[in-house]
Structure 1
């Protein structure tokens, strides 16, 4: 079985996971963290393995998963950095906007520059690194504008990235929970033999965690649908009541600050669905 080491950031940096996969002669990194401080700690963790970094994979175009690439890649020039073309394009299109949005919050800890992936992969493509097969499964729009999982067929391990937030409040503000639910079922059926599932946020899990994620999304959608008298005209009082209900339902889940933002995104999604023919 491929040995996968998990590096997790603190809640102030969204509890994002990066994955260091050991091969016989080197390492493969999946996702590169959000803040410079986390990326530098990740770099030091990689160095401590005393093996060269052979490749980086970026799973989707959210900055908490790609921001640290410049800090990591600096030590290994010429490194192949893999992502789908959709993810590459979205990183390039949004990096300036994200810098303007987050720098007032994090100051100099927010990376001043981003290195976009330099090697495009297509859905279903297998990349071989030092004998290790990594199969990239592009699921399309869901939690983000493009979400990918990475399957390690030799060990039946699945890097689910942000398809799965394991017992953590997820990011729903982009309003694509129905696509996300569809993807969870597809992945659950496609990878029935997966022995370990590595989430983008939260603790390592098994395949049952995908059902837990689907239940959370369904509960969230139901609470929003039932909590607003008019989805197109939500009131702050209704939003607050829905948030309190969800926080009571999941009292131990971190990233609670996301809940109210998520309510707005899901309300817009449900309103669109109600108007669809």
Structure 2
């Protein structure tokens, strides 16, 4: 926890900085170089329900557009905004074959015939085959969906780097998650990640393909593959910090699976199927946990369809073979602590700063005797300054309920002696989302 002398010194430095009005002054009293400026990607979001994003980024030879919206009508509205930039369009990229991201490709191609449409070979194949019959379904639900699709005229191998408009983009391909195949585009010079539907922002996703476990595993892979990504630009919802959006999507999927799982258990009262009252309860709990999250599709029964698909998926899973990312024991530690709490305790005692920071969600909050630290980076800096090098002993679990534990601990900043305190942790999925530390006396 806090060291009074260190906090006073830091406060004194901050006060001196404020008095001197020195630009770039920091708690380390070192001048910082100004951040490199960059042009933010443009964005058009079609109206709800089922709002979809298209983005455009500036490249040396013109604009590069990512995804083409659901319908030609929506696409033309985005095209009008793009033309206001006065810049030519150099290329169009597709992230995955779902109708709401490719339906407007024809309108874009008509408006910018000189700009090639790029897609991975897997995405192009999925569009041309449409094994799930999504495109006829989209046409029946929305008469504005095109009667004939416009396909990519340039394809690339999954995961191959891409040169478009004089810009180099890294790509990565993922299969059997939110969609049968998905491609993300990463711009290393800015840290921008165009993640398609893999990590939405405050939306109700579509789980109708029944691959929630595959999706959870992909999120882990995505975070590792693009650990340096700063901002994620999702197919639905507002852009945000990459780690936070991945964590948000992971928590949603884990929460949903956790609610559906008991209903399909072999010893459930409904005999392994989701009964109407169970479905109602699941919907109510998701609405309580995620209020105001619009659906990614113009489908009034999207949550009911999600429940059916995930129920089928869970009923077919073998618990003994379920990957760790999808296991119903993901929150259970072997020491009686919630898994991320156990990780935190172990990381303190091992002096492992990376593991400690990794126990928290990217947008987590930590309150240390009234001082508030928001975000994994701030928590990491706090831990490096005040926690690493100390020893933490759990005396008892004072309070224990789903997703929450309050521990009575002894923390010794120098490894011996120390003081007692209460550490309260709120957990969602595999991450701590809030921690509050207070003295015990």
- More off after superposition, 157-166 vs 231-240: 231-240
- More off after superposition, 164-173 vs 114-123: 114-123
Give unmatched runs, 5+ long, in structure 1: none
1:97 CA drift (Å) = 3.7
1:11 CA drift (Å) = 1.4
- More off after superposition, 189-198 vs 60-69: 189-198
Question: Considering only CA atoms, is the larger Rg found in Structure 1 or Structure 2?
Answer: 2
Q: Trace 1:63-212 onto structure 2 (pairs within 5 A).
A: 63-94=99-130, 97-107=133-143, 109-206=144-241, 207-212=243-248
The separation in 2 between residues aligned to 1:266 and 1:241, in whole angstroms, is 15
Corresponding position of 2:277: 237
Report if aligned partners of 2:178, 2:211 keep a CA contact under 8 Å in 1.
yes
Report if aligned partners of 1:2, 1:155 keep a CA contact under 8 Å in 2.
no
Deviations 1:194-214 (A, max 9, x none): 121111111111022211110
Corresponding position of 2:85: 49
Task: Report which structure shows greater RCO (CA 8 Å, sep ≥6).
Answer: 1
Is 1:8 equivalent to 2:48 in the alignment?
no
Deviations 1:92-133 (A, max 9, x none): 1229944432333322x2222210112111232111223311
Q: Trace 1:205-220 onto structure 2 (pairs within 5 A).
A: 205-206=240-241, 207-220=243-256
Report if aligned partners of 2:72, 2:106 keep a CA contact under 8 Å in 1.
no
The separation in 2 between residues aligned to 1:233 and 1:201, in whole angstroms, is 31
TM-score, normalised by the number of residues in structure 1: 0.92
Label 1:232 to 1:251 Cα distance change in 2 as closer, same or farther (>3 A).
same
The separation in 1 between residues aligned to 2:272 and 2:78, in whole angstroms, is 43
In terms of fraction of residues, the more helix-rich structure is 1
Work out the number of aligned pairs and report it.
275
Report if aligned partners of 2:216, 2:250 keep a CA contact under 8 Å in 1.
yes
RMSD after superposition = 2.0
2:262 to 203, 226, 229: 226
Corresponding position of 1:263: 307
TM-score, normalised by the number of residues in structure 2: 0.59
The separation in 2 between residues aligned to 1:174 and 1:134, in whole angstroms, is 29
The separation in 2 between residues aligned to 1:99 and 1:199, in whole angstroms, is 22
The separation in 2 between residues aligned to 1:39 and 1:96, in whole angstroms, is 24
